[in-house]
Amino acid sequence: MKEWRDIVQKNALKSASTYYLIGTLFNKGFAFLTVPIFTRILSTADYGVVTTYDSWIGISSVVIGFAIYMGIRSSFVDYPEKVDDFLSVCVTFTLMCGIILIFAVGVVLILFQSRINYTLVFLCLLQGLATAIVQDYSTYLMMRLDYKFRTMLMVVPNLLSSVIAVVAILFILKTKLYMGKIVPMALVNIGMASLLLVLTYRKSKMLFNKKYLNYALKISAPLVLHGIALNILSQSDRTMITVLGDASQTGIYSLIYNFGMIAVVITTALEGIWVPWFYNKLKENAATEINCIAKDYVHLMTYLLIGVIAIGPEIVKFLASNQYWEGIKIIPPIVLSNFMIFVYTLYVNIEHYHGKTVFITLNTFVAAGSNLILNYFFIPKFGYVAAAYTTLLSYSIAFAFHARYAKRLEPELFPIQMFIASFLQLAVTVITFYFFRDVWYVRFVAVLLFELCMLRKERDRIAFYVPSIKENGRIRFCSKN
């Protein structure tokens, strides 16, 4: 652990944050950047199968991984000299959970003679196991500030699997083209996880330690249900569209959903900077300073999403062939859903800081349950359009619940008034979108004038997006109005 301390003492955090930002942007944005390729070489039905499969990867990795990576993160505080042993124990636990689940699912499928595609089920479980192992090791690398290797873990699998997938779809497969995307993803991730297992057991041969495992599970267990609920909230709509509608509708919906993820890509990357700063300021009881920079943060994300909604139809037409264009009408609710994710995460960070993981889980389950119920009743009648609006409503419920509870913990942080201007500006943008959906030059001129005015007004706030936002312990360019 001397090596790790030396890195910290040499102030490597600035460099590490830069790698984190680049790696996260690539990891989250690469799927979006490859959309124009796969929407043109896959039918809407094939694309729908792929995105439904992706949604189940998220759920399976949460169940198998048991969120034990959170225990690995905490071990750097409580067991700083034993982190290699701790990692080995946690990875072994993840591996055993995966093997047991795969065996159990296999037995159930055989006993009940299910018509489910066995190949897809087992590929999903194997990739879920691989994803959980990568998450464990990635957390270890993050805490060691080994961001070069961590960035490689983000970049290489996505890049390699996409190249192989394009070759397979264009030159090898004649039918079931969705397998050309799914199989490379699974095999590359399984290969990467196998490499990480070797690296883990080279560091330590410890496979089991009751003390370490109990410590990790006490931290991770409350977050498992939260992870499942979060995946249900974000992914169940695609599965339900496939079941209650058809895979072609899922393909159209998924394209627009991925397009709307632009906000999440950026905020996820910035969280690596925002969360540590937020925690430090919360320890100092610096509510005024937190609210000041949070206001800037919210305004800047609002302006970004206004631009996304305004020029969305043209971007979708560039990204995909005309068989996907009917989905343009659901751009506003999908983008607004991602804005709600962004704002409720501000309150979730308060709950995490105070260790209220049980309440995080309960609030998320309420929102996820609402989404399932609404989808069940409205998707059969209105198809994927209903899913877009039920998703927005469900995230709004999540925002209301998390905000209400977080205000009990920190009454001075993030007053609701902070979001009123953003909600009004987005509402006007949505109305403009539907009135001038087919008149691109009106939307373009309107958004250009708006963004130029805001750019002038908020020019100092743009500095928030630069990694070096901290100088002598203070945030620069924090507006006073």
Q: Which of 196, 176, 214, 207 is nearest to 131 (CA)?
A: 196
Are 293 and 370 in a shared domain? yes
CA distance 389 to 374: 9
User: Residue 471 — pLDDT band, cuts 50, 70, 90?
Assistant: very low
pLDDT on residue 19: 62
Q: Which of 192, 208, 224 is the last residue of a domain?
A: 208
Residues linked to residue 474 through DSSP beta bridges, in sequence order: 471
Range of the domain at 359: 240-481
Domain-embedded: residue 105: yes
Note whether 336 and 397 are same-domain residues: yes
Query: And the tokens for 8?
Result: 């910290």
Using one digit for the tens of pLDDT, what is the confidence trace for 128-142? Answer: 999 999 999 988 887
Residue 235 located in a structural domain:
no
> And the tokens for 124?
């999903």
Q: Are residues 265 and 145 in the same domain?
A: no
Q: Is the pLDDT of residue 256 over 90?
A: no
pLDDT value at position 2?
44
| 223, part of any domain | no
Weakest-pLDDT range from 6-10, 46-50, 76-80, 185-189: 6-10
> CA 416, CA 401: separation in Å to the nearest integer?
13
Counting Cα atoms < 13 Å in the Cβ hemisphere of 242 gives: 21
* Helix or strand (DSSP H, E) at 178: helix 178-203
Tell me how far apart the alpha carbons of residues 23 and 152 are, in angstroms, rounded to a whole number. Answer: 8
Tell me the two tokens of residue 268. Answer: 């996820």
Query: Taking residues 138-153, what's their average pLDDT?
Result: 79
**Within a domain: 222:** no
Q: Are residues 35 and 128 in the same domain?
A: yes
Residues 254 and 195 in one domain: no
160, two tokens: 């390699």
Question: The whole model's pTM is what?
Answer: 0.73
Q: 133 and 253: one domain?
A: no
* pLDDT for 324: 82
* pLDDT confidence tier of residue 1, bands split at 50, 70 and 90: very low
The answer to whether residues 372 and 254 belong to one domain is yes
How far is residue 139's CA from residue 45's CA, in Å, rounded to a whole number? Answer: 36
Taking only the tens place, the pLDDT of each residue in 336-357 is 998 998 899 899 888 877 877 7
Please indicate, yes or no, whether residues 194 and 270 belong to a single structural domain of this protein.
no
Count CB atoms within 10 A of the CB of residue 214. 10
Q: Does one domain contain both 157 and 279? A: no
Specify whether 197 is located in the same domain as 271: no
Instruction: Please check whether residue 215 lies inside any domain of the structure.
Output: no
Task: Report yes or no on 226 lying in a domain.
Answer: no
Q: Is 232 domain-assigned?
A: no
Cα–Cα distances in angstroms (integers) from residue 199 to residues 87, 193, 320, 433, in the given order? 11, 10, 41, 52
Residue 5 has pLDDT above 70, yes or no: no
Residue 6: pLDDT above 50? no
Residue 446 lies in a domain: yes
Mark whether 167 and 276 lie in a shared domain. Answer: no
- Per the structure, how many domains does the chain have? 2
211 secondary structure, DSSP code: H
- Is the domain of 86 the same as that of 172? yes
Q: Are 261 and 32 in contact (CB under 8 A)?
A: yes
